[in-house]
Amino acid sequence: MTLPTTPAERHRAVADAFTDRVNGAADWDGPAPVEGWTARDVVGHLVEWLPGFLSAGGIDLAAGPTPADDPVAAWQRHREQVQALLDGPGADEDFTHPHIGTLPLAQAIDRFYATDVFMHTWDLARATGQDDRLDEDACADLLAGMTPMEDMLRASGQYGPAVPVPEDAPVVDRLMGFLGRDPQWRP
């Protein structure tokens, strides 16, 4: 399987997969593969960082339920708002952010946010004991694109130290290891 190529459809596919894991979660306080995080924190991360990112470029999302109170409702509300931006008439308009410059809104959401949702699907799946399979082509593309920027990514503080993974390991395991996750991690 390969993910769709347009930002709106790619977000829809990635958000659908994450939503499946959100809806299947039973223990929101169980540990997640990210050091110090719970399953609830995985949802909280995705719901909480994007509004600030968008606001810095002049786009405000309406507040909704918090992940602390209701992670399922918080994710659903957030997902719907992001999809509405991507499906809306302003998706191709310029979005200017103080740290990334100017690019079409849909590209900014796709590049920085949809990719994050994709990768954190694995975290939520592992934290909640669900299907953790990811699109292998998308994993290979991400790994190929991120590897040349490894020093910059690690310096950003957004990625932990790489976890050694054999070169012949499945691509999902190699991506997770690159991101600082132990592919063998279980709660």
Tokens of 185: 């991690």
pLDDT for 1 equals 57
- The total domain count for the chain is 2
Q: Are residues 74 and 126 in the same domain?
A: yes
Q: Are residues 101 and 147 in the same domain?
A: no
Contact (CB, 8 A) for 77 and 84: no
For residue 38, what is the DSSP state? B
Q: Are residues 86 and 105 in the same domain?
A: yes
The 8 Å CB, 24+ separation contacts for 103-107 are 105/57, 105/59, 106/6, 106/7, 106/8, 107/7
Q: Which residue has 């920027």 as its token pair?
A: 149
Q: Are residues 73 and 154 in the same domain?
A: no
Mean pLDDT per 10-residue section of the chain, whose length is 187 residues: 88 97 97 96 97 96 95 98 97 94 96 95 98 96 94 86 95 96 95
In-domain check, residue 186: no
The residue segments making up the domain with residue 155 are 135-181
pLDDT for 2 equals 82
82/69 Cα distance (integer angstroms): 20
Q: Are residues 139 and 125 in the same domain?
A: no
CB-neighbour burial class of residue 164 (10 A; exposed 0-12, middle 13-18, buried 19+): exposed
